Structure 1
């Protein structure tokens, strides 16, 4: 993937498509922005979402939209306030537009299973390999979600890494829209590896290596392994126990637990997962 650069609060690179959005002109106050907010577009494609958000009569916008092939539309300069967070609250702050850069990823969001296909709210249908059954962090039951592409995740990682390293900003936090507006928003949803993404960028030994989304070729080595909503023995079970030899894909690790994907996603104790022989 070609390199990106920051030039005068704009992205530069072969994958970057500048788009004018003159409705946003207020500058951040000194010391801001210090947060990146990750969203999904819930739209048909990246270009149509970018065209929609740049309209003068639409009271919403974002700094970037990242397409499914890793292309990046920039609507608003990074030193300028965009209207992506709306009514929001987190850690004692409200109205996060004043503190944050908004990155939208082209993704349909929640899907409904219709026969053998999966339908978005706007009618477009997707196939099984584009859908993931998972429990949202603010919900208790699994539903279907549109998956993200590795190219999107990597483009988002590169952008966030540039912003974090740049002395022009004070980025110390990455949040999902679902975390600053729970009950009102569900993006980026459980198909985006938000916890691992921000942990690798902000807290662990940071490298320029792509974020690996999953570990495949793992199997259950217990007779019956409970799969839970959260990484805790007290958490609610989300499905029937997994049987010995069940193949799983490990999506995330946390405090001695794996978040795994089979037909659904949930958390299991990592001690009962081993590499397939």
Structure 2
């Protein structure tokens, strides 16, 4: 695939179509967009979600919808503000529509187990092979979720890489991160941390190890993104231990040096010490 005039152009074998809607807020300001926000549709299928996102009576839109049949439907050009984020904030920004491209993935979201059935909110039953059990990043108890197809995940990664190359994307976020009090998408079934680490940070670590290690030492330690608004870093794995640096903030990268239980020994990718 490639992007021409802010629209996806299909390559051999890809299924790209355009159903453009005028539900936008005009073009992005200069040097934007710089963020991608990942969503699930929580709908019956891609077709019904596209109908909703293009319905003039529904105050919502998005740039792309990725179907479970590997289809890619573009609804808004990439240089134009869509209405996908709603009330949202990240770091010192609010209203993420003005900064971000929204990708909707056809997925039913959270499922409710009733007997041997796994039911969506619209009462469609899913087979066990389509179900993922995991803990949401904003919760503490495991629940059931509709699985994404491997092809959907691969398509999203291909598109996000292309967006990064074209627009200089700096952040890849989930709707659940920018609106944690009201949204749960894309949920634990989507490998969000792996996606952004692979796209945004893996190449940077290879090209410039010092960007990850303030001491200038190359390591093989995995990286992670701080998702809490503040992350306290203590001298020992105890809530009563002394703080060793100012709290890390949401969006900062750390290297995970060691993990024991629910505690991890980390090294900030931006701060020495």
Q: TM-score, normalised by structure 2?
A: 0.74
Cα separation, partners in 2 of 1:117 and 1:234, compared to 1, 3 Å: farther
Distance 1:132 1:76 in 2: 31
CA root-mean-square deviation: 2.3
Cα separation, partners in 2 of 1:189 and 1:267, compared to 1, 3 Å: farther
Distance 1:192 1:172 in 2: 20
Query: 2:41 aligned with 1:38, yes or no?
Result: no
Trace 1:1-277 onto structure 2 (pairs within 5 A). 4-13=1-10, 14-24=14-24, 26-166=26-166, 169-205=167-203, 255-256=257-258
**8 Å contact from structure 1 (residues 89, 96) kept in 2:** yes
Q: Which runs of 4+ in 1 moved over 4 A?
A: 232-235, 253-258, 266-269
Unaligned 5+ runs, structure 2: 205-235, 240-254, 265-273
Distance 2:92 2:181 in 1: 17
CA shift digits 1:173-206 (9 cap, x unpaired): 1000000000200000000000011000000038
Distance 1:195 1:105 in 2: 16
- What secondary structure, in the 3-state scheme, does the structure 2 residue paired with 1:151 have? helix
Distance 2:237 2:132 in 1: 24
- What secondary structure, in the 3-state scheme, does the structure 2 residue paired with 1:187 have? coil
**8 Å contact from structure 2 (residues 23, 83) kept in 1:** no
- Offset, 1:114: 1.5
Unaligned 5+ runs, structure 1: 207-231, 236-252, 259-265, 270-277
Distance 2:158 2:257 in 1: 27
Cα separation, partners in 2 of 1:67 and 1:268, compared to 1, 3 Å: farther
- Offset, 1:57: 0.9
Moved more, 32-41 or 13-22: 13-22
Distance 1:149 1:18 in 2: 22
Distance 2:27 2:21 in 1: 14
**8 Å contact from structure 1 (residues 36, 175) kept in 2:** yes
Moved more, 182-191 or 14-23: 14-23
Q: TM-score, normalised by structure 1?
A: 0.73
Distance 1:268 1:189 in 2: 23
Q: How many residues align?
A: 215
Cα separation, partners in 2 of 1:234 and 1:102, compared to 1, 3 Å: farther
Cα separation, partners in 2 of 1:141 and 1:70, compared to 1, 3 Å: same
